[in-house]
A = this chain, B = another copy of it.
Amino acid sequence: MSGFDKVVTSYEQAMQGLEDDMTVIAGGFGLCGIPEGLIAQIKKQGVKGLTIVSNNCGVDGFGLGILLEDKQIKKMVSSYVGENALFEKQLLNGELEVELTPQGTLAEKMRAGGAGIPAFYTATGYGTPVGEGKEVKEFNGRPYILEESITGDFAIIKAWKADRYGNCVYRHTAQNFNPMAATAGKITVVEVEEIVEPGELAPTQIHTPGIYVDRVIKGTFEKRIERKVLAKEDR
């Protein structure tokens, strides 16, 4: 009766099956809500030629940025990048390809990928470089562009708590892209702060139902803050 127990105990198990040239969808916004240990494991495994789909690419030395160090990333699909010098360098060298995608379109592409919607129309990006070469159709007199969904070989997710069945909840704004990314991976791996027993999470309050999750691992997190800004009286 272990079919629903998604817990694994080593990072090797967590990322087993990851190979060169695969597509990995990663949750997180900036350095908030990122699966730190899973990213470290990808670096350790040394796989190359990865396409990474994630809103950002971390910073120098932290987050997805560490995968640049050994040139493991072939292509980034993101809405905002370049918070790191190494990224900039590899991009200008032509060692790294970037597909810039509007943030909302990126979130919707992941959701659509997980939901069996191969494509959808959006006004976002029409008439801009993002719309170039894409199908245009008018609805109620307004032009929209057709955007295709995204799925990945792996999805790597950071949640707050998960139960053994893979049901997840996220903490504060560390939710961000994680729930959509979790639906869009052929293999979805969740790194959590705490593993709880089934029943501890209220059924209506689960953000990611376990059906989307293949593996759960308990991690430890540095949770580096990108921009610490304090209230005036505390500065």
Residue of B nearest to A173 (CB): B204
Tell me if A208 is interfacial: C-beta within 8 Å of chain B: no
Tell me if A205 is interfacial: C-beta within 8 Å of chain B: yes
- Kindly list chain B residues whose C-beta atoms are within 8 Å of the C-beta of A142: 118
Residue of B nearest to A139 (CB): B118
- Kindly list chain B residues whose C-beta atoms are within 8 Å of the C-beta of A148: 139
> Can you report 26 residue pairs joining A to B where beta carbons are below 8 Å apart?
A108-B115, A108-B117, A112-B120, A116-B122, A116-B123, A117-B120, A117-B122, A118-B121, A118-B139, A118-B140, A118-B142, A118-B144, A119-B121, A119-B137, A119-B139, A119-B144, A120-B120, A120-B121, A169-B204, A170-B204, A171-B204, A172-B203, A172-B204, A175-B204, A204-B207, A205-B205
Q: What separation, in Å, do the CA atoms of A207 and B206 have in the docked complex?
A: 11
Contact B119 A120 (CB under 8 A): yes
Q: How many residues of A contact B (CB 8 A)?
A: 26
Closest 10 pairs (CB-CB, A-B): A118-B139, A120-B120, A119-B121, A205-B205, A117-B120, A118-B121, A118-B144, A117-B122, A117-B121, A119-B139
- Kindly list chain B residues whose C-beta atoms are within 8 Å of the C-beta of A137: 119
Chain A residues 96 to 121 lying within 8 A of chain B, measured CB to CB, are 108, 112, 115-121
Nearest chain B CB to A196 CB, angstrom units: 16
Chain A residues 35 to 53 lying within 8 A of chain B, measured CB to CB, are none
Nearest chain B CB to A131 CB, angstrom units: 15
Interface readout for A195-235 with B: 1 if CB under 8 Å, 0 if not? 00000000111010000000000000000000000000000
Q: What separation, in Å, do the CA atoms of A171 and B169 have in the docked complex?
A: 18
Interface readout for A144-175 with B: 1 if CB under 8 Å, 0 if not? 10001000000000000000000001111001
- Kindly list chain B residues whose C-beta atoms are within 8 Å of the C-beta of A144: 118-119
Q: What separation, in Å, do the CA atoms of A204 and B7 have in the docked complex?
A: 24
Residue of B nearest to A117 (CB): B120
Contacts A117-B121, A120-B120 known; 17 new A-B pairs at CB < 8 A = A108-B117, A116-B122, A116-B123, A117-B120, A118-B121, A118-B139, A118-B140, A118-B144, A119-B137, A119-B139, A120-B121, A139-B148, A169-B204, A170-B204, A171-B204, A172-B203, A172-B204
